[in-house]
Amino acid sequence: IAFSFQKPWLWDHRECWTGYPQQPLQPSLFWYYLLELSFYWSLVFTLPFDVKRKDFKEQIVHHAATIFLISFSYCANYIRIGTLVMVIHDASDCFLEPTKIFNYMKWKKTCDSLFMIFSAVFLISRLIIFPYTVLYNTYYYSMEIFQPFFGYYFVNALLTILQLLHVFWSCLIIHMVYKFILQGTMEKDMRSDTEESDKDEEREEIKEKEKNGISYFSNVTSNSYIQRNGSEPLNNRTHLTNGHVKER
């Protein structure tokens, strides 16, 4: 991300189309593209092994749209627009991964603080900066240079899909932040009924209940055995001071 801030088209959006399509591919941008494409392909490969959340279908659509967008923007030499999209997405993802780590570590205060920062960055970058910097740029500024063609419609369609997903996830994040403000603590991930950590706690509770159930069953069977032999349970007897047992 650091080298992208030095690019002129990050600040002057019309620079994305200056000299297009004769825009040389710089080595730094090539490696940035390669890393991002590799990352999203890794997410696709690991998706079947992840916890199935409520937004599983949305994740598939997001990964597919992102991979198509990165690949097509590279082939059509939409490199400058592609770097804008990736920088905007990476801005909030930098806070998301540490938030997950501290959540699994049970560092609640640190996790909640990072999540609030992530929420602010996500909402600003995806709902304000992305439409103005990218969508408006590709929809209007590009037509000042050349007439629309297939790449124009295809890229804008993919970017619109990403923006719809941004709105969907923003609603979930706003709901979690609202709950946090009311309750003072972050609730579980709204995308799933149970997180992995929640499932572990449920397993421990089930084991504890099963253990208690076994103990109760033992007590019941022991008392039944004593009663069948003509004696009362020990809890129905009184102990004398000399250690003998007196029947009630």
pLDDT tens string 114-158: 899 999 999 999 999 999 889 988 888 877 777 777 888 899 999
Cis peptide before 21 (omega within 30 of 0): yes
Q: Can you give the pLDDT at residue 233?
A: 46
Q: Can you give the pLDDT at residue 188?
A: 56
Instruction: Quote the DSSP letter at residue 234.
Output: G
Q: Can you give the pLDDT at residue 130?
A: 92
Q: Average pLDDT over the chain, rounded to whole? A: 77
Q: Can you give the pLDDT at residue 123?
A: 94
Cβ-contact 240, 246 below 8 angstroms: yes
Q: Report the chain (248 residues): mean pLDDT per 10 consecutive residues.
A: 65 81 86 93 86 82 93 91 90 87 86 90 93 87 76 90 93 88 64 46 55 48 46 47 49
**233 SS3 class:** coil
Q: Can you give the pLDDT at residue 206?
A: 61
Q: Can you give the pLDDT at residue 182?
A: 80
Helix, strand, coil shares, percent, the chain, to 5: 75, 0, 20
